[in-house]
Structure 1
Amino acid sequence: MVEAAFDVDQLVGHWYRTDDFYEVGREKIREYARAVQDFHPAHWSEDAAAELGYAGLIAPTTFISTTAMLANRRLLETLLSGYDIVVQTDQVFEMYQPVVAGDRLNSEVELSSVRRIAGKDLITITNTFTDQAGDVMQVMHTTVVGVTGEEVGADIGETLERVIMSGLDSASRTVISPDDELSAVKPEADARLSSISRTRLPRTALRFEDIAVGTELPAKTVRLTRGDLVNYAGVSGDANPIHWHDEIATLAGLPDVIAHGMLTMGLGAGFVTGWLGDPGAMIRYGVRLSNYTIIEADTAGSVEFTGRVKSIDAEARTAVVVIVAKSAGRKVFGLATAEVRLA
């Protein structure tokens, strides 16, 4: 394991912008929609997307995380290289403009906060995605727990070297100093938030008048296999082997291989947008993970989703939906909400 060169607390506020834009591909949208089992037609058919007012295939809610995986790699492999594994705990998506095929996204990465709870570092990374005009399209806040080999199996570092994807070899990682380019402080500037998601006319299957506090969403059960986890790892770029390698999962102190938190969140987002009928009508999605979705080698796992309307805003024609996800009788989401707009 590579030892951190300085306390992670000192890194709060460090920021960088990626060197190149990310161009959203038509087939990548379809690949990701398949990986999160989201078969809304607007993710697959240009005609269906056009009927909802989109210029191309619209990306699923959590698609932006694939861009973040690429953008965050420099941070994870340098400033946070003292951790052998990072485990996701909380996620918030703020949507200001839908992402559609052909968009070119610029990414900014900031280590926005560190908290130490029960002897563990909880690190929040904020990703800001802007379009070519500089308007903020989406913001993503990811909180992870940094885990070292001292806290889990002593052999985890050596085992990781044997199984990690080529090109992510931890032995080649370098620890940078606070004077390096990566440790720059974010420039002072007022972010221009795109207004599209909050001003476009949503084309939802439901009208605001059709819902009330307490309205329940139709329940949905999703089946997951090890193959689904491997597929999601490849499509999303999340190569963490706790999601597909039994030995690493055991060394990390897990009961078995577990589903990606972001995969479970993607399934939950599709559960809500399928009910809405317009994937771009969700403007905020937040999830706190409270348990694992365990996927054993010899049997499929499942996640059961239910939801209800918690509150409504008649003036804005918006609603907050509470989402419950359970697997094997355990609550996977500690707290999950989606703010949506209705026609």
Structure 2
Amino acid sequence: MPELAPDAPASTEVAGRHYRVRDHYEVGREKVREFARAVQNNHPAHRYEADAGKLGCDGIIAPPTFTSVIGGLTTQALLDNVLTDYDLSQVLQTDQVFEIHRPIQAGARLRTEAEIASIRHLRGNDFVTVKTTVVDENEVVVQVAATTIVARLGEEIDPEIVRLVEGLVMHRPDASRNREVLIPIGTGQATAAPELAESRRDWEVHTIPTFDSLSVGDQLPIATRQVTRGDLVNYAGVSGDANPIHFSDHAAELAGLPTVVAHGMLTMGLGADYLSTWLGDPTAIETYSVRFSGFVPVETTTPAEIEFTGRIKALDPERRTATVLLGGTSVGKKLFGRAIAQVRLS
């Protein structure tokens, strides 16, 4: 896991600072397949080269939310070594945005830059937004992501939670041996992403619905997905998000939850499959953003069910894109405060 020197200041003064990961991330063919299975992204282009080739790709295609693995490691490093005022047990993710300039393919060698985009104080909490830019071996920006977390300030940490975390969470490398993996860089050294419309201009999509067949207000077919405790454990291992509230009843209870709950990013990944299934082409997703407002409770032996819906909010005839409002519910409760995607159509 990338780390920074622990003496970096943790305050609003770090807002605007940029960092570069020294080592590259090589996208493994089997890692893509494992991640696709973990988030139930079932398009065959995530598994077979022949199907990816039909969409203009040489290697199998990573699911739209794949870079959450890379971004999660980088955000964790910032929390460990720069944003050290925040206790990890008091941090929650509230928003996630993916801006997809090019599909990520197996075999790609990616480098990553991160910016602490903003830190906002609100009612005793800090809202921290981290922007991650992923660049391929040809120095082409393939994806830009933004994660917002809320950190509770001034609260005494329950000693029972501390003991639980120490006894349950996955072991991590010694931070003192990895301090130079993230390199501070100046604003002028940071990679600037091009306009999405420009970078996607020559990318051809092969969607089932065509632009001309859609109208504002059209509803996407309702679909359901199921998750079990096994799915949560699998996703925790594949993604690296080992928060014990996703597999330990005791941890969930201490956190004030009724039972173990699904990862927000797993729920978002399932939503990406809902979109891809409707489109017939996962590379047609240009942007995908979610504000989390609820959770999916997952009982011990009963699968949890999530219902996804969608509606066409707007159409852009010049670029042949549609803006889709997404909905997700579980046990009758909304999961998203806002979920929206921009997709390109044949």
For the 8 Å contact 2:21–2:113, the answer to whether it is kept is yes
Secondary structure at 1:127 match in 2: strand
Normalised TM-score (structure 1): 0.91
Aligned to 1:284: 287
Letter in 1 for 2:88: D
Residue 84 (structure 1) aligned to one of 72, 83, 88: 88
Whether 1:304 aligns to 2:318 is: no
Where in structure 1 do 4 or more consecutive aligned residues deviate above 6 Å?
none
For the 8 Å contact 2:126–2:153, the answer to whether it is kept is no
Whether 1:69 aligns to 2:40 is: no
Secondary structure at 2:171 match in 1: coil
Q: Per-residue displacement from partner, 1:108-133 (whole Å, max 9, x unpaired)?
A: 11111111222111111111001112
Residue 145 (structure 1) aligned to one of 136, 144, 150: 150
For the 8 Å contact 1:198–1:283, the answer to whether it is kept is no
Secondary structure at 1:42 match in 2: helix
Identity of aligned residues (%): 46
- Residue 103 of structure 1 and its aligned partner are, at CA, apart by 0.9
Residue 225 (structure 1) aligned to one of 223, 228, 235: 228
Secondary structure at 1:55 match in 2: coil
Aligned to 1:136: 141
Segments of 5+ residues of structure 1 without an aligned counterpart are none
Shift in alpha-carbon separation, 1:22–1:5, aligned structure 2, 3 A: closer
Residue 256 (structure 1) aligned to one of 250, 256, 259: 259
Distance 2:313 2:7 in 1: 43
For the 8 Å contact 1:258–1:292, the answer to whether it is kept is yes
Distance 1:80 1:322 in 2: 33
Aligned to 1:125: 130
Q: Per-residue displacement from partner, 1:265-314 (whole Å, max 9, x unpaired)?
A: 00001101111111111110110001111112242211100101111011
Aligned to 2:268: 265
Letter in 1 for 2:12: D
What are the equivalent positions in structure 2 for 1:104-123 lying under 5 Å apart?
A: 104-123=109-128
Distance 2:58 2:312 in 1: 30
What are the equivalent positions in structure 2 for 1:304-343 lying under 5 Å apart?
A: 304-343=307-346
Distance 1:230 1:273 in 2: 24
For the 8 Å contact 2:129–2:147, the answer to whether it is kept is yes
Segments of 5+ residues of structure 2 without an aligned counterpart are 1-5
Secondary structure at 2:65 match in 1: helix
Secondary structure at 1:101 match in 2: coil
- Residue 147 of structure 1 and its aligned partner are, at CA, apart by 4.0
What are the equivalent positions in structure 2 for 1:203-214 lying under 5 Å apart?
A: 203-214=206-217
Q: CA RMSD in A?
A: 2.4
